[in-house]
Amino acid sequence: MTAKILVSACLMGHAVRYDGQARPLVHPALDRWRQEGRLVTICPEMSAGMPVPRLPAEIEPGRSADEVLSGTARVLESNGGDVTAEFRQAAENALALAIETGCAYALLIDGSPSCGSGFIYDGSFSGRRRPGEGVTAALLRANGIKVFSDRDIDALVEAAGFTD
């Protein structure tokens, strides 16, 4: 059976981001995978009951997604609200769906406190980036799912062996 690919809903054009927007990704491989039924779309945060729009949230400064998953760091909204439980539930939901549907790969939008895989924001809500990953990306990777960012879709094409 051909491995499927878990994909961020906002990359697929769904307006589910915290600001009510989408970030559609245009690439011929996405069109082909969609036609072949290989894409499994999820917004982890919405799956955990978070609304659209919602306040921006970031992992607290200097802490990692792994620490969020182990219960030693928090995810906070811009007003200080603690949404750690929702972000952990979001990650669990994404992992459960990936396992249930046979996803060996994930294509997630970078920068998100859930879906980021190369960088996230530094927790100060000032727009500063730092290297790191979101909570969902970290849990997927910890369970053997190969995560690629939207910027690395060509690497996913190569790794997944889907080239024509």
Pairwise CA distance, residues 61 & 132, whole Å: 11
Give the nearer residue to ligand SF4 in terms of CB position, either 111 or 161: 111
Q: Are strands 75-77 and 57-59 parallel, antiparallel or unpaired?
A: antiparallel
Closest CB 93 distance from ligand SF4, rounded Å: 10
Task: List CB contacts of 28: < 8 A, sequence separation 6 or more.
Answer: none
Which residue, 9 or 145, has its beta carbon nearer to ligand SF4?
Answer: 9
- Shortest spacing between CB 130 and ligand SF4, in angstroms: 17
- Distance in Å, CB of 132 to ligand SF4, minimum: 14
Per CB under 6 A, residues contacting ligand SF4 are 8-10, 16-17, 43-45, 109, 112, 114-115
The first and second tokens of residue 5, run together, are: 């690919």
Question: Measured between alpha carbons, how far is 54 from 160 in angstroms, rounded to an integer?
Answer: 34
Residue type, 62: G
Q: Which is nearer to ligand SF4, 82 or 158 (CB)?
A: 82
Q: Which is nearer to ligand SF4, 151 or 158 (CB)?
A: 151
Q: How far is the CB of 163 from ligand SF4 (least distance, A)?
A: 26
Distance CA 65, CA 88 (A): 10
